[in-house]
Amino acid sequence: MALNRALIVLGPPGAGKGTQSRRIAQLYNVPHLSTGDMLRDAINRGTELGKIAQPIMERGDLVSDELIMAMVEQRLSEPDCSKGFVFDGFPRTLKQAAQLDAILESHGFGKPIVVDFAVPEDKLLKRLTGRWMCSVDGETYNIYEKPPKVAGICDADGGTLIQRADDRPEAVKERLAVYERKTKPLTDYYESKGLLERVDAGKSVEEVNREVRAILNRVDGQHGRV
Ligand code: AP5
């Protein structure tokens, strides 16, 4: 199966963007481009970008558009991005979305497919506060909905499970407020371009995955690109 373009997964913190993006990227054999993961990697490696991003992320705010765009452009220039990619957590502001349009055009990818994940706030809070991630492969678990077979250990590779610093209640509150203010307007932006596909992401992981795959098949069918 070929993607040959960008899939953008929009949605609030904890909506399941990472969980689904990882699966779809695997299915199409294209890179999963999570700007959150890239920033956490920069923090772990102690780079200049990581030093700037860490306090901003821990309080739940957004890293500047300039730093994000430089990071994304650099990543898109790598050879594994030639057959399309899945964006998770990017774009997050109208400025990032407009700049991404120009980049996709210049790389010959044309219009993206944009899926917007909607989840009620009580579920988001449970997903964020119950989340644990594998320190090796990044696989995500949830102590309420999808616990690992052995507490604290990844089923797939035995890696230690860790909690994110920005899943503390105060940071979660700020992340949700920042999403409403700065990222939610992107749904109108993409809807006005006729690109927005809405997904009820409050359902199970499998159901959401089926819905996203159905959207990809339908859109590809319409454009005859597969
Ligand atoms: P980022 O890492 O992108 O975090 P986020 O958008 O807040 O989203 P999350 O990763 O918290 O949630 P998710 O939607 O991926 O859900 P997940 O699949 O993990 O960004 C972090 C920070 O980096 C930002 O706050 C900002 O500071 C900075 N940043 C990143 N990108 C930026 C940008 N472009 N511009 C500026 N700053 C940027 O699932 C959550 C939990 O729910 C898991 O436990 C999972 O197992 C569970 N779950 C998932 N799906 C389901 C389901 N269907 N049913 C039940 N449980 C489920």
Chain segment 37-79, per-residue pLDDT in tens: 999 999 999 999 999 999 999 999 999 999 999 999 999 999 9
Residue 209 lies in a domain: yes
pLDDT over threshold 90, residue 34: yes
Residue 35 lies in a domain: no
Residue 88 lies in a domain: yes
Q: How far is the CA of 165 from the centre of ligand 1 (A)?
A: 12
Any catalytic annotation for residue 218?
no
Residue 96 lies in a domain: yes
Give me the helix-helix angle, 17-28 and 205-223, nearest 10°.
50
Any catalytic annotation for residue 198?
no
Atom of ligand 1 nearest to the CA of 36: 2
pLDDT over threshold 70, residue 128: yes
| Structural domains counted in the chain | 1
> Which protein residues touch ligand 1 with a CB less than 6 Å away?
11, 13-19, 35-36, 39, 56-57, 60-63, 68, 89-90, 92, 96, 127-128, 130-131, 140-142, 145-146, 166, 175, 204-205, 208
- Confidence at residue 42, expressed as pLDDT on a 0 to 100 scale: 97
Residue 102 backbone zone (phi > 0: left; psi -120 to 50: alpha; other: beta): alpha
- Give the domain range for residue 94: 6-30+83-223
Residue 162 lies in a domain: yes
Residue 216 lies in a domain: yes
Residue at 51: amino acid letter: K
Say which CATH number the domain at 195 has. Answer: 3.40.50.300
Task: Work out the mean pLDDT of the chain and round it to a whole number.
Answer: 94
pLDDT over threshold 50, residue 207: yes
Residue 40 lies in a domain: no
Q: Which ranges constitute the DSSP H helices of 83-129?
A: 94-106, 121-129
Q: How far is the CA of 183 from the centre of ligand 1 (A)?
A: 13
Residue 120 lies in a domain: yes
